[in-house]
Chain A
Amino acid sequence: MNDEFDKLRAALKAPATPDPAAKAEALRRAMENFDRTQETATRTRPSQDRPERAGFLTGVREMISHLTTRGALAATASIAALGIGVLIWPNLQAVAPTPKPEVKAVVDAAPADNEARDRLATTVAEAEAPQGQVVAQDEPAMAEASPPPAPASVVAEPAPTERREKGVAGQRLGESEAATGLAAPSTDSVWVSGSFGKVTLDDADSAYDQAMEDAYATPRIFCDSSMPAANPCEFFDTEAFSTDAPNPVKIVAEEPVSTFSIDTDTASYSVIRSSLTNGQLPPKEAVRIEEMVNYFPYAYPAPEAGEAPFRASVSLFPTPWNADTQLLRIGLQGAMPATDDRPPLNLVFLIDTSGSMDDPKKLPLLKQSFRLMLGQLRPEDRVAIVTYAGSAGLVLEPTEASDQTAILSALDRLDAGGSTAGQEGLQQAYQVAESMGGDGHVSRILLATDGDFNVGLSDPEALEDFIAKKRESGTYLSVLGFGRGNLDDATMQALAQNGNGTAAYIDTLSEAQKVLVDQLSGALFPIADDVKIQVEFNPAAVAEYRLIGYETRALAREDFNNDRVDAGEIGAGHQVTALYEITPVGSPARLSDPLRYAAAPEGGPAKELGFLKLRYKAPGAATSELLETPIPAEPGAADTDARFAAAVAGMGQLLSGPKYLGHWGWDDAIALANGAKGDDPFGYRAEAVQLMRLGQSLAR
């Protein structure tokens, strides 16, 4: 019976091919219009509001920040006060105790109104009409009322003017002011505060302020227009960062051994870059100096074939910010295995598609980043996609990387919405990764998120335990952070550190290029697991030392030889740099006095500054290997890489707390980095100099 319907379907489905001439004409006109729009359109102004759900406080803040005509407000308000003063003052004096002031007040109203109007006309023309009305309307009401409520009307006085200008937001403030005024106690004297354009009463003042504070919850949100225009996330961000207090100076005589795990993450540098380019200094907690230093490639000698999978080189050179101390640099260079015979990869993209990812800097950037990476994969690699929002789901069954169309269309279909069941997603991703396992395959989960895990196991410690159990299965977990606003850096760090992986933060497509294309093999192929560094300093040569950065990676001295204690991984071709600032024995820079009763070090200058020990496991191995090398005490000249690393470490300290830098400042950091740019084929170092310059301007 549905023949007609089918006929309609067929007729409609018939392809409608446009006439090429009409198409060309339409496109040409559209381009003309596009160009015209570019020339003439007034650009939409960025607003601090999110498009929807702007809350009450945002409205209030908006309104206050738009109070541009303070002078006008102050003037109109003072005239209003004057008018009221003229009107009410004699009444209060004369008739306050008597029960019937009404008649006299109403009679007085007209001249006062006229006087106000005249003055207004000469001072602020545009504000005249509303103000005149206000005075005229309010006064009879006031006069009818008995004296105690009178100040209420006075306090509310400027509100109607704003109300007309500011619409809803203004009305809200107007109401709260009026409410405040009603609650305020009665008083006799009147004064005008020009700075805020508010008229209030002596005793009412403190109550008013209190009420303002209550209404606006925190002083940070109650800002005025002089606050720098910042990115929208600044006001309501829920970011959490993983950090510890900067490492203090240690005295060699008391604590000769320093132990830490390596860290190949780079997330902190990208977060700092994203903050600085948005015109804000990054929060101190976001600064992890080792991640900033390790962001940059350095030319360390590569290990010979048949040696350990990485090679350590040490060098000692004068500290840029303190002539009396030296910097000890420990540089590790991972071997770069021939890329042709790399093992096949099993990749599980675990993608956060919760509502918070709905932002051009998040999900769309993520899709583009993964698209870039697909070009780097081999046909035999396999890819699966698991998403998680309100619930987790397998979006793409394990698929050969050669089937790009299937992978790309699965990526394209992703939409953001819902809450974030992070843990469920992780469980499913591990399950998929385990099911993909083949002989000799490297399995890795790439978790892409803005860090917001709000359903399931959401506290970092419980997640850590879960992942620590899962890493036994040999699956690596790397974390890619996207977007700002609710970036939960602490959770991301916990995940990557415990999942035997790295954390990177992707703020731009070029960062995606660096992490997922240029350095992909390092990010995906581990060459050594659980790499730990232990340095024993020679008390005869070193008085004090300080490890710059690595606060979140500190290990206990006894953990160095304990193979059950987890540490950082080093990937193919990765470089890791650690910097110690050391104070030699006898240096005037020594911060602590030598002990009078301590045993004097043996005579003669020491040949060895200290002893460096490294432990690592071959990927998948259970027991660790040990590398040892003495550190010579003779300082040399700093090479380009050393100077640049020092400049970046200096930048990190300037951002997080320049306690040990003395008078060394941004200028010195910029000069040092500028002189040490070296080859810099990708412009990473030039970008760092730009960021230092931004930091300098913002820090002023």
Chain B
Amino acid sequence: MRMQTPDEALASAAAGGDRDAFAALLSRHYDRIFGLCFRLTGVRAEAEDLAQDICCALPAKLGSYRQAARFTTWLYRVTVNAAHDRRRRIATHRKAADGWGDWEVARRAEIDAAAAAGDWLAATMARLTPELRDTVALTLGEELSQKEAAEVLGVSEGTVAWRMSEVKKRLREMARAEGML
């Protein structure tokens, strides 16, 4: 029975204190959360940490789910926001710890390390700006339509389309740069 109950009903039951509903909801969606985290961060360990943070925050967050959007859309939004927060926290931390120059050096080192490790994906993602990274992860990775991705990111559909064309442009530039080296 639980397997067929829609996410929305489970979510409202869980928000009302139904333990089983929450467990069912979480086990149904953990892989999805982790998948998006991995695509957003590009690093497995970091994705696991982030997914765990999101899972731990979900009981409190569920109260704010209004059933206005589909549950998965809402969940994507929560995940993307959590990834933003984490990125910002790490950046602030590094800036405070090392100062600007070191931070930039560290970022370069990260890109180089990933590239050296043959991890083309992580290297490419690290070169994109956070907005582009989110958009790419949702549209290419999670295979959302541009409309759905726009809903998750809280931007207009046109913005998503623009970002995708921007990604294509950047990738071309990167390829060209690599070809010249």
Contacts and interface: CB of A to CB of B under 8 A. Distances in A.
Contacts of A15: 35
B35 A16 contact: yes
Nearest to B22: A34
A230 interface: no
B137 to A, nearest CB: 7
A339 interface: no
Contacts of A368: 5-6, 9
B180 interface: no
A360 B48 contact: no
Contact of A26 (B5, B44, B52): B52
A35 interface: yes
Contacts of A376: none
Interface string A25-45: 111011101111110010010
B56 A29 contact: yes
Contacts of A27: 23, 26-27, 30, 55
Interface string B150-181: 00000000000000000110011011000000
Contacts, number: 119
Contacts of A22: 34, 48, 51-52
Most buried by B among A16, A25, A35: A16
B12 interface: yes
B9 A26 contact: no
B43 to A, nearest CB: 11
B6 A367 contact: yes
B8 A16 contact: no
A692 to B, nearest CB: 28
A168 interface: no
Interface residues of A, number: 42
Contacts of B30: 18, 23, 26-27
Given A8-B121, A27-B27, A41-B60, A16 B55 contact: no
A26 B168 contact: no
Contacts of A33: 56-60
B38 interface: yes
Given A27-B27, A34-B19, A37-B60, A8 B136 contact: yes
Interface in B129-154: 136-137, 140-141, 143
Nearest to B23: A31
B124 interface: yes
A315 B62 CA distance: 57
Contact of B140 (A4, A12, A51): A12
B31 interface: yes
A16 B47 contact: yes
Contacts of A35: 19
Interface string A58-80: 00000000000000000000000
A303 to B, nearest CB: 37
Nearest to A408: B4
**Which size class do B's interface residues fall under?**
35 or more
Nearest to A415: B70
Interface residues of chain A: helix, strand, loop or mixed (majority): helix
Nearest to A31: B23
A9 interface: yes
Contact of A30 (B26, B120, B137, B172): B26
B38 A16 contact: yes
A348 to B, nearest CB: 22
A5 B31 contact: no
Contact of A11 (B34, B35, B55, B120): B120
B56 to A, nearest CB: 5
Nearest to A367: B6
A8 B55 contact: no
A19 interface: yes
B66 interface: yes
Contact of B9 (A3, A17, A36, A364): A364
Contact of A38 (B9, B17, B51, B55): B17
B59 A13 contact: no
A203 interface: no
Interface string B54-98: 011111100100111010000000000000000000000000000
A78 to B, nearest CB: 43
Interface string B1-38: 00011101100101001010011001100110011001
A16 B39 contact: yes
A13 B171 CA distance: 17
B136 A12 contact: yes
A415 B70 CA distance: 8
Interface string A405-444: 0001000100100000000000000000000000000000
Contacts of B55: 26-27, 29-30
A250 B67 CA distance: 53
Contacts of B167: 5, 8
Contacts of A51: 66
B111 to A, nearest CB: 15
A19 B48 contact: yes
Interface string A361-375: 000100110010000
Given A27-B26, A29-B52, A364 B60 contact: no
Contacts of B8: 360, 364
A16 B35 CA distance: 5
A372 to B, nearest CB: 10
B92 to A, nearest CB: 25
A31 B22 contact: yes
Nearest to B69: A415
A7 B34 CA distance: 22
A1 interface: yes
B58 A30 contact: yes
A569 to B, nearest CB: 32
A27 B63 CA distance: 19
Contacts of A408: 4
A17 B48 CA distance: 11
Nearest to B60: A37
Given A22-B52, A27-B55, A360 B12 contact: yes
B175 A3 contact: yes
A17 B121 CA distance: 16
A461 interface: no
A2 interface: yes
Given A18-B51, A29-B52, A9 B140 contact: yes
Interface string A156-167: 000000000000
B59 A30 contact: yes
Contacts of B47: 16
B34 A16 contact: yes
A1 B172 contact: yes
A12 B22 contact: no
Contact of A18 (B34, B120, B140): B34
Nearest to B70: A415
A371 B67 contact: no
B34 A23 contact: yes
Contacts of A3: 175
Interface in A336-386: 358, 360, 364, 367-368, 371
Given A22-B48, A26-B30, A12 B168 contact: no
Interface of B: 4-6, 8-9, 12, 14, 17, 19, 22-23, 26-27, 30-31, 34-35, 38-39, 44, 47-48, 51-52, 55-60, 63, 66-68, 70, 120-121, 124, 136-137, 140-141, 143, 167-168, 171-172, 174-175
6 contacts: A4-B172, A8-B171, A23-B30, A27-B23, A31-B26, A371-B4
Given A7-B120, A22-B52, A358-B67, 14 more contacts: A11-B121, A13-B141, A18-B34, A19-B48, A22-B48, A22-B51, A23-B31, A26-B56, A30-B58, A31-B19, A31-B23, A33-B60, A360-B9, A368-B5
- A-B interface, 10 closest residue pairs, ranked by CB to CB distance from nearest: A4-B171, A30-B55, A12-B141, A26-B52, A16-B38, A18-B34, A34-B59, A37-B59, A11-B121, A22-B48
